[in-house]
Amino acid sequence: MKLSVIIPVYNEQATLIDMLERVKRVPISKEVIVINDGSTDRTKKILRRYRRQKDFKILTFLKNQGKGAAVRKGIDEARGDYLVIQDADLEYNPVDWHALLQLAKRGATVVYGSRFQGAYVVRWHNMLHFFANRMLTALTNLLYGSHLTDMETAYKLIKRTVAQSLVLKSSRFEIEPEITAKIFKKGIKIYEVPISYAGRQYHEGKKIGWRDGVTSLWAIVYYRFFN
């Protein structure tokens, strides 16, 4: 089983090398697709050293288009059996892929890594994000009849052919609820496994804000009733 690792990157010079080296060390068959989303720091220069490395594909947007646009591009380029989205900011640890892949090997089409199932160390630096995630997940469960614990997780392991059939449109952080909504509307079950999480604060480079939460809230409703 080959995994396509999609890494959207925007101004992550402080953590990028560490993350890419962690990704390289995970002993599984994989391709690594890095999308530089118009970074203005040293990200582009750092990525040059990986351009010719085995199993790496580096793509560049000349202007910032948003996480959703980068994820969509990565999905289009993926060729593995499954794909997973990996943020570049060290909040998520690639060693947790193994837990998601175990369910995939047993036949699961979609597996989410949950920060709320309690089996691993989880550190939240911003309680507003904590409660916003809980609220968005609760609304998703209410509208889609699901039983998720963490809809907003970045760790979404999806069979590649399914991901490429979703016809995604989002360009920013509302890509998370759009993916979830369109999976549910296909009648596909989403499994969850516990993962670790080390949340960042804004001074460390965290980018998602309250406006993104409002947009995600609207996306949950929109894709349930209007799309």
Q: How many CA atoms lie within 13 A of 113 on its CB side?
A: 25
Read off the pLDDT of residues 34-69 as tens digits, 9 standing for 90 and up: 999 999 999 999 999 999 999 999 999 999 999 999
Query: Is it the case that residue 207 has pLDDT exceeding 60?
Result: no
pTM of the model: 0.91
Taking residues 141-157, what's their average pLDDT?
96
Residue 188: how many CB atoms within 10 A of its CB? Answer: 14
Q: Minimal CA–CA distance to 129: which of 196, 67, 195, 208? A: 208
Cα separation, 34 vs 4, in Å, equals: 10
Beta carbons of 192 and 149 less than 8 angstroms apart: yes
Give the chain's mean pLDDT.
Answer: 91
**CATH class entry, domain 3-225:** alpha beta
At residue 204, the pLDDT reads 47
At residue 203, the pLDDT reads 46
Query: Is it the case that residue 114 has pLDDT exceeding 60?
Result: yes
Question: Per the structure block, which two tokens stand in for 148?
Answer: 């998720």
| Candidate from 16-25, 106-115, 125-134 with smallest mean pLDDT | 125-134
Q: Minimal CA–CA distance to 84: which of 181, 193, 185, 11? A: 193
At residue 215, the pLDDT reads 85
Q: Minimal CA–CA distance to 197: which of 118, 84, 104? A: 118
Q: Estimate to the nearest angstrom the gap between the alpha carbon of 198 and the chain centroid.
A: 15
Of 78 and 204, the one with more pLDDT: 78
Q: 84-110: b or e for each residue (b if 16 or more CB lie within 10 Å)?
A: bbbbbbbbbbbebbebbbebbeeebbb
Where are the domains positioned within the chain?
3-225
Q: Which helix (H) or strand (E) holds 46?
A: helix 43-48
